Amino acid sequence: MSHYYLGIDLGGTVTKAGIYTPEGQEWVVTEQALPLLSPQRGFCERDMTGLWEATCQVIRRALAESKIDAGQIKGVSFSAHGKGLYLVDKQGRAVRNGIVSSDSRAQALVSRWQEEGKDRQAYGYSLQQLWPSHPAALLHWLKEHEPESYAQTGYVLMVHDYIRYCLTGAFTSEETNISGSNLFNQQQGAIDPTLLAIFGIEEVADKTPAIIGSADCAGYVTTAAAQLSGLKAGTPVFGGMFDVVGAALTSGVQDASKLSAVAGTWSIATRVFERIMPAEYPYVWGKYSIPGSYFVHEGSPTSASNLAWFVQQFLPNLPDSYATMNQWAQQGYQKSEDILFFPWLYGSNFKANVNGGFLGLCGHHGVEDMVYAIYQGIVFSHLLHQDRILALSAGAQSIRFTGGPTHSRVWMQMFCDASNLPLEIVDVRQSGCRAAALCASVGAGEFSGFSTAMEASQAPIVRLEPDAAKHRVLRQRFDRFKRVATALSAVE
């Protein structure tokens, strides 16, 4: 009888479940949005019981739609959003709502820490920049503002740690995600009491579960979880991974020769090394799923969500909108227009005090010119991340790209030309679910490791080559983009 693996993708707003063959062939993917709760400005939460119920529902639907018997599922694993905080007491009951990665309630605290130099003090241990949704920042915020929640905490979990507990009854912490928490020492590979002291949260030292690898077995589906989810009791459940790592795995990235790039709500650039590379710039590092490897990445909400906003506000009734906009972008790519768009409607990866907008609009411009400027601006904002990642070392030979914009050939060509590297589009529907299922297949022993699994399951690739003339033009415009952004950031 054929057997399969279940991958669960726990995003910031949508939960998905996919069933795959050991080699990564997709049979079905189901999804369900979970309402985000924002009781105050900057708060971005979700009901943890509702999250578990939504996870059970997508699993049940995946099994029903695929007509696969639960006994044929030989393993379960996860791809999960980073940062955020999911607290339970010693009995595993939610202490409060879960907090997702887009939460910014701790921004004032982080700014205070930066003024005090805590970011520099902690960086040598954690190799993380400070972020308001880091578990370290959220824990200190709760200590100050919700001391009763802080005191009730039995275990500090990230999102897939919580769902893994719901399935197995075992408390564990997965390495690729906890390594981005500002609680974790990258060199020691463990939660660091020094970091807890720097951030004033020493009390959680005994509330962090044992750390496991992506493909380590965390436990088995309990009878109670089987009744709720439709899975078979005793099905093994494996660690999983941070979704940034999942995108790189789906793209077949296992060393520094290939860069993983993601465009969607967030713009993300990721590279994998066998050691942490020394550099003055405070790069963000974490443990990769391949034992002994590290990933370095940068990301910001500066990608296609900006285009989605423009469509919603100004082109809500445009027929076949994305096909039409791709045509406009193709026409704009042949022009020499100097309109600049800064894709910082939801945050900036240049300076915190700059916002989105157009520069250079004239009376002869039309909506099609503005759309091209948005495409170009999103490419430029991605380059801010990508150029820094590439600067860590020579030897990058290509870029592997996933995300919604991969469906626009002109947009991908713009990314390719601006980067001046071959760009390989990874043809995969759901990179998170697929990577999670691949993780389960490695954990179950289908492959000797992630490297072997990636080689055996590589999704189809479409390769684009850069145009040297276009590269020069785009880089000249990118230089202007940065100069204008620098000038704007100087305005209080």
- For 72-122, how does the pLDDT look when each residue is reduced to its tens digit (9 = 90+)? 999 999 999 999 999 999 999 999 999 999 899 999 999 999 999 999 999
Separation CA 77–CA 61 (nearest Å): 17
User: Is the CATH number of domain 251-492 3.40.50.620?
Assistant: no
Tell me the one-letter amino acid at 237. V
Pick the CATH number of 4-239 from 1.10.150.20, 3.30.420.40, 3.40.50.620, 3.40.50.1980: 3.30.420.40
One fold for 4-239 and 251-492: yes
pLDDT tens per residue across span 367-403: 999 999 999 999 999 999 999 999 999 999 999 999 9
Verdict on whether the full-model pTM lies above 0.85:
yes
Is there a contact between 177 and 241 (Cβ–Cβ < 8 Å)?
yes
Two tokens, residue 150: 């802080």
Separation CA 107–CA 28 (nearest Å): 40
Residue ranges in 222-304 assigned as alpha helix (H):
223-229, 243-250
Q: Report the chain (492 residues): mean pLDDT per 10 consecutive residues.
A: 94 94 95 92 95 98 98 98 97 97 94 96 97 97 98 98 98 98 97 98 97 98 98 98 96 96 93 95 97 95 94 94 96 93 94 93 96 98 98 96 94 98 93 96 97 92 97 98 96 84
Separation CA 127–CA 285 (nearest Å): 6
Q: In b/e form, how buried is each residue of 63-100, taking b as 16+ CB within 10 angstroms?
A: beebebebeebbbbbbbbbbbbbbbbeeeeebbbbbbb
Tell me the one-letter amino acid at 349. N
What residue spans define the domains of the chain?
4-239, 251-492
